[in-house]
Copies of this chain bind each other. A is one copy, B any other.
Amino acid sequence: LRNGYPEVIYCEGKSNEEIKGIVTNMLERGNNILATRAEEEVYHALEELTDDIEYYERSKIIVIQQEEVAETESEILVVTGGTSDIPVAQEAVITADMLGNTVKRLYDVGVAGIHRLLGNQDKLKEANIIIVVAGMEGALASVVSGLVDKPVIAVPTSVGYGAHFDGVASLLSMLNSCASGLGVVNIDNGFGAGYLASTINRQIEQARNN
């Protein structure tokens, strides 16, 4: 995060030694650290460097928290279609949380059973920014965006098979939503969604505090 508070490492394609080198530098600067796409062996390598470390196995995220993080008044709500989308959703939740945001969750409210979503409209109303994480046909993003008039960030996931093409079906669905005002990030990019939501939330908080 060249412009944000915690420092972020994207671990894919980096050797353990490279990652340890980067983290050692970061630890010296006293910052919080977020490492995404981290295999378990990366976690074990970093455990040698610090105790303030937590590993979220299914989301493959490592959090090293050295400082307290403030909490925003505005809320980011993270919604998923199914339970298989949760690892990606958690990437968004943890990212936004580490960046100082108040984050809520509403999981497993996919459109095959639309009444579960409709029964939770109060949660949608309370939120200032909504992140929708969905695989399969990704229809949830359109339905949520149709129900509210707020920024909605859509995260297509690779949950699906066959003509899903590892997330392409969800991605195209979200890019072509008939509901206005969706911003889409890359397939399975929970980090990007959490980060974008946070930049929005920072603008809101700054306006509130002026």
Residue pair A181, B192 in contact (C-beta under 8 Å): yes
Stretch in A24-32, A43-51, A63-71, A107-115 with 4+ CB within 8 Å of B: A107-115
Size of the chain A interface, CB-CB below 8 angstroms? 88
Given contacts A84-B14, A173-B138, A185-B183, contact A128 B203 (CB under 8 A): yes
Which of B110, B173, B192 is in CB contact (< 8 Å) with A137?
B173
Stoichiometry (number of copies): 8
Which of B111, B114, B160, B187 is in CB contact (< 8 Å) with A162?
B187
Q: Does A106 contact B (CB under 8 A)?
A: no
Chain B residues lying within 8 Å of A151, measured Cβ to Cβ, are 196, 199-200, 203
Residue pair B182, A129 in contact (C-beta under 8 Å): no
Which of B74, B168, B184 is in CB contact (< 8 Å) with A172?
B168
Other than the given A1-B180, A111-B111, A152-B199, 6 more pairs (CB < 8 A) read A8-B180, A112-B142, A112-B145, A137-B174, A139-B142, A162-B189
Which 3 pairs show the lowest CB-CB distances between chains A and B? A183-B183, A13-B84, A162-B187
